[in-house]
Amino acid sequence: MSRYLIDQYQALEVYTPGEQPQDQQYVKLNTNENPYPPSPAVIAAASREAGRLQLYSDPVCATLRDAIASLHDLKRENVYVSNGSDDILNFAFMAFAGRGGRVYFPDISYGFYSVFGGLHGCAYHTIPLEADFSIDPAKYHRRDGMIVIANPNAPTGLALSARDIEGILRANPDQVVLIDEAYVDFGAESCVGLIGKYDNLLVCQTFSKSRSMAGARLGFALASPGLIADLDRIKYSTNPYNVNLMTCAAGAAAIADNAYYMDNCRRIEATREAATERLRALGFTVLPSKANFVFVKSDRVDGGTLYAELKKRGVLVRHFDAPRISDYNRITIGTPEQMDVLIAKIKEIMGA
């Protein structure tokens, strides 16, 4: 830090991304990337646009927003697109809470929520998960600030029903309820269908996980036109060209090729169920996941040791050295072949 940085930023707790090693070929099961490549149509669309990089992208992202809207039976005014959904979360904390504004989210959830809360000086409060790591929706009723829930939650993988979300929306008519559906395509129930009924619902999704585009940085929000206009106000006050030319075209092509991605999601779900069974057979506690990862713990190896021993053997998983979850590891669901390597290495570690 330099002596020029203003006070308000000096004490910030910044987000620590999962390791992205550029040196060694790891079996990379640590940041919930999709193990399957983008569809050929997406690669072709991005390459086509690469030849036009001298031009600015469309600030409205009309084609992409229309494609996302029609996939969800919504209108362009219900869709906001951004440079990754982290950007939307950032804007939401800025727009709907801000300095001193109250925000509520689970104590164990996506690490960025508290980072954005700190960045914008919000008065954020965490609500403890139940002993089994589930969310009790009643604890989010009648709150006096914005509510943020990842559904399915990360890193647990546990999901709430759309009915539970509706209860939260109904019990907080004057608050924005942000549902982060980064992992919803892997078998959970989306609450997008409630957008017409609740103008306080803001749903965030991303192309990073189910659509194999983490490196392209594309996220989107679905909500009532008012909330979308609010996000647009912030975008036009920071960076109107927030989605680049290649990503814009790639995103539209990905929506056009939706079946390819949904097939991959079903494949990943099947791999997840198989991995869950195999890990349980090895004595692991595995939370029932609706995401593209599993949250696991063994009584025989502690979380930190398992992480380190797997890394030594070329397999990267995610360990959080945090209260309540330091016994656990979050393991991304890869291809069946990658999961075979994982299981073999775990057996080796447990046998030793």
Query: Which residues here bind ligand PLP, judged by CB under 6 A?
Result: 84-86, 110, 150, 154, 180, 182, 206, 208, 214, 219
CB of 85 to ligand PLP, least distance (A): 4
What gap in Å lies between CA 277 and CA 297, rounded to an integer?
A: 14
CB of 208 to ligand PLP, least distance (A): 3
Evaluate whether 42 touches 250 at the Cβ level (below 8 Å). Answer: yes
Token pair listed for 103 = 């925000």
Query: Nearer Cβ to ligand PLP, position 189 or 346?
Result: 189
Query: Which SS3 state, helix, strand or coil, does residue 281 take?
Result: helix
Query: Nearer Cβ to ligand PLP, position 330 or 345?
Result: 330
> Which among 271, 253, 273 has a CA at the least distance from the CA of 263?
271
Query: Nearer Cβ to ligand PLP, position 84 or 145?
Result: 84
Evaluate whether 249 touches 45 at the Cβ level (below 8 Å). Answer: yes
CB of 7 to ligand PLP, least distance (A): 28
Query: Nearer Cβ to ligand PLP, position 255 or 346?
Result: 255
Query: Nearer Cβ to ligand PLP, position 13 or 277?
Result: 13
Query: Which SS3 state, helix, strand or coil, does residue 92 take?
Result: helix
What gap in Å lies between CA 224 and CA 345, rounded to an integer?
A: 48
Q: What is the distance of C-alpha 193 from the center of its chain?
A: 19
- Rounded to 10 deg, the angle between the 225-235 and 85-96 helix axes is 100
- Rounded to 10 deg, the angle between the 258-281 and 245-256 helix axes is 80
CB of 107 to ligand PLP, least distance (A): 15
CB of 184 to ligand PLP, least distance (A): 10
CB of 186 to ligand PLP, least distance (A): 11
CB of 154 to ligand PLP, least distance (A): 4
What gap in Å lies between CA 163 and CA 194, rounded to an integer?
A: 10
Query: Nearer Cβ to ligand PLP, position 30 or 85?
Result: 85
Query: Nearer Cβ to ligand PLP, position 85 or 298?
Result: 85
- End-to-end Cα spacing for the chain: 44
Query: Which SS3 state, helix, strand or coil, does residue 274 take?
Result: helix
> Which among 154, 132, 191 has a CA at the least distance from the CA of 289?
154
CB of 328 to ligand PLP, least distance (A): 16
Query: Nearer Cβ to ligand PLP, position 86 or 269?
Result: 86
Specify the amino acid at residue 308: A
SS3 readout for 29-82: CCCCCCCCCCCHHHHHHHHHHHCCCCCCCCCCCHHHHHHHHHHCCCCHHHEEEE
CB of 209 to ligand PLP, least distance (A): 6
Query: Nearer Cβ to ligand PLP, position 154 or 203?
Result: 154
Q: What is the distance of C-alpha 4 from the center of its chain?
A: 33
